[in-house]
Amino acid sequence: MHVCERNRVEVLLPGSVVAASAAYFPPLSRELAPRRPVQCTRRRAALAIEPAAPSLPSRAVSKRQLDSGAIPSAHRAFVDSTRWHVDELRRGSNSIGSASCVALVAAGLGASAPATSDERVTLYATAAALSPDGSEWLVPIHFEVFEPEYDDPMRTALLEPLRRKLAVVEDSAAALRFRDRAKLFLIDHERGEQRVFTVTGRAFELGPTEPNGHSRAELRLDTAAVDLHSPATGSGAPRWLDIAVGTPGAIDAAATRIALIGPEGLSVISDLDDTLKITEVHDRLRVLQRTFLEEFEPVPGMAALCQRLAARGAAFHYVSLSPWQLAGLFEEFFAAYGFPAGALELQHFRLQDGDFADLIGDSRAKKLAVLEPLLARWPQRRFVLIGDSGQSDPEVYGELARRHKEQIAAIWIRVLPAPTARAKAPAERPAHPSADPTTGEVVGAESDGDTDRVRERLLAARCAIAFADLPSDSWTLFTDPATLTLPE
């Protein structure tokens, strides 16, 4: 459902547009500013409202029920006391038909209304830096408020094409995994929510959340107070600071640890998909299968490489264009296979707005927008950039290194294995073998050796452009992580 602004109402109807006139709700249509009409493509009409009754749960009732008084008296009193405004929409009628549904979405207008019984909070791992004068820790807080909608028919219907595409077999282990992971996307993002967080023994009220349910803020904490809760070790490795929200054991409680990263030392920025975890991003079907049906599989040797870097005191930042809904699975994956804990940065994805065929993005601009602030936040630290040849990591890291030459200690690019291509008859083959510059898929090759040579030449030419004007020893292509030499 399109999220409405405070005290505003939107009518959503797929295929056509419905108008609910002031005549239908005469006492409720006054004193609210008009709103731009919204065209929708769903098969069910709904009104999304944000009323002044914080305790009323979400409920759907029909027009006939409203007219007949068949809804509970408490809800009718709520409806009668709520001011409404519904825009006149193009090609609309002047009433909502009895087959249409009016969704009464209750949300308190108070700045910090208590959570409803179904709301959840997720706290994401971040990294804190010292202020320039060293007197304070600048602690970023990133949280999300959402409500599970596992039984919502409209949301579950959006998953049906994915279920069919993956040919999920009922009662199989894959079906159980699909159900559990698909649930991560069956949520209602809660906007305008505030929460009270506890850190270093103090309480901070943060928010409100954005329309996507997320909110980011930065706390400035005195270094002496932080030291009491996370004593300095002198090793140079990151320290950890606990932060929590809600009453322990409550349904909306959450907790995480914030990495405290000093101004000097070694940091690692690593991609996830096909760098640490086998995803096969060149094959959209395999991406979906590995995301929803299969256990996450680590790239051989990468956990050991990261452990070697952690032993040097390195701090870790994991950056990916995978959706935030997978954050919990990634953290479980890190713990299960021995990857060091670190800050996580993913991208926003809403089931009703997104396309599962493009679940994992590949935008140079988006990645640079995430990576640039990391180097700016720790200007005296040196960074190791780890990625793979399957997407735009060479180009992104090359651009970053040209802008921050003194901060980049090394760039390591994993060479992906050759993707499987459909065999073509001789008449179909191009006169000369060629390869896709991103995926490395070769067409027109008559032998595996020919394919490998073409891929090697193409990748070498690509990296020569991506890392132009950089020292040749500043970047390395690898297949076996054990062969990499750690920076001094």
245 vs 66: which has the higher pLDDT = 245
Domain that holds residue 275: 266-284+296-483
223 neighbors 231 (Cβ within 8 angstroms): no
pLDDT in tens, 197-210: 999 999 999 999 99
69 and 138 co-located in one domain: no
Q: Is the pLDDT of residue 479 over 90?
A: yes
- CA–CA separation, 11 and 22 (whole Å): 13
- Judge whether 390 lies within some domain: yes
Name the 3-class secondary structure at 36.
coil
- CA–CA separation, 397 and 319 (whole Å): 12
- Judge whether 181 lies within some domain: no
Q: Report CA torsion sign: 444, 446, 449, 450.
A: negative
Q: Is the pLDDT of residue 96 over 90?
A: no
344 neighbors 331 (Cβ within 8 angstroms): yes
The alpha carbon of residue 384 and the mean position of all alpha carbons in its chain are separated, in whole angstroms, by 23
Of how many residues is the chain composed? 488
243 neighbors 141 (Cβ within 8 angstroms): yes
What average pLDDT does the structure give for the chain? 77
- Judge whether 86 lies within some domain: yes
319 and 245 co-located in one domain: no
Give 117's pLDDT tier (boundaries 50, 70, 90).
low
CATH code, domain carrying 228 = 2.60.40
329 vs 51: which has the higher pLDDT = 329
Q: Output the six-digit token pair for 403.
A: 């802008």
List C-alpha distances in Å: 473 to 68, 170, 469, 470: 78, 52, 12, 8
30 and 70 co-located in one domain: yes
- CA–CA separation, 225 and 464 (whole Å): 49
- Judge whether 476 lies within some domain: yes
Q: How many CA atoms lie within 13 A of 126 on its CB side?
A: 21
Give 93's pLDDT tier (boundaries 50, 70, 90).
very low
249 and 280 co-located in one domain: no
Q: Output the six-digit token pair for 118.
A: 């179904």
Q: Report CA torsion sign: 91, 95, 101, 104.
A: positive
Q: Which amino acid is at 22?
A: A
Q: Is the pLDDT of residue 36 over 90?
A: no
272 and 197 co-located in one domain: no
Q: Average pLDDT, stretch 64-86?
A: 38
Per-residue model confidence (pLDDT) at position 361: 65
- Judge whether 167 lies within some domain: no
272 and 409 co-located in one domain: yes
245 and 339 co-located in one domain: no
- Judge whether 179 lies within some domain: no
371 and 475 co-located in one domain: yes
229 and 278 co-located in one domain: no
125 neighbors 256 (Cβ within 8 angstroms): yes
CATH code, domain carrying 344 = 3.40.50.1000
Lowest mean pLDDT among 15-19, 202-206, 250-254: 15-19
Per-residue model confidence (pLDDT) at position 206: 96
Q: Average pLDDT, stretch 81-89?
A: 32
Per-residue model confidence (pLDDT) at position 357: 67
- The residue with tokens 């970023």 is 140
- The residue with tokens 């006054």 is 30
| Of the candidates 177, 165, 178, 416, the residue with the CA atom closest to the CA atom of residue 278 | 416
Per-residue model confidence (pLDDT) at position 61: 40
Q: Which amino acid is at 200?
A: T
R_g of the chain, CA atoms, integer Å: 26
260 neighbors 242 (Cβ within 8 angstroms): no
Q: Report CA torsion sign: 134, 223, 327, 325.
A: negative
- CA–CA separation, 452 and 60 (whole Å): 60
268 neighbors 309 (Cβ within 8 angstroms): yes
Q: Is the pLDDT of residue 426 over 50?
A: no
Q: Report CA torsion sign: 269, 273, 278, 283.
A: negative
pLDDT in tens, 255-307: 999 999 999 999 999 999 999 999 999 999 999 999 999 999 999 999 999 99
142 and 57 co-located in one domain: no
Q: Is the pLDDT of residue 147 over 70?
A: yes
Cβ burial 204-217 (10 Å sphere, 16+ → b, else e): bebbebbebbbbee
- Judge whether 154 lies within some domain: no
Name the 3-class secondary structure at 166.
helix
Specify which of 159-163, 418-422, 473-477 reaches the highest per-range mean pLDDT. 473-477
Angle, helices 393-403 vs 448-466, to 10°: value is 20
287 vs 426: which has the higher pLDDT = 287
**Residue 192: CB partners within 8 Å, gap ≥ 6?**
6, 50, 107, 207, 208, 209
Lowest mean pLDDT among 30-44, 337-351, 420-434: 30-44
260 vs 38: which has the higher pLDDT = 260
230 and 304 co-located in one domain: no
**Residue 369: CB partners within 8 Å, gap ≥ 6?**
none
Q: Average pLDDT, stretch 200-227?
A: 96
Lowest mean pLDDT among 167-181, 224-238, 467-481: 224-238
- CA–CA separation, 442 and 435 (whole Å): 4
Q: What proportion of the chain, given as a percentage, has pLDDT over 70? A: 68
- Judge whether 178 lies within some domain: no
How many domains does one find in the chain? Answer: 3
What pairs with residue 434 in β-bridges? 443
84 and 199 co-located in one domain: no
List C-alpha distances in Å: 168 to 150, 176, 351: 18, 10, 19
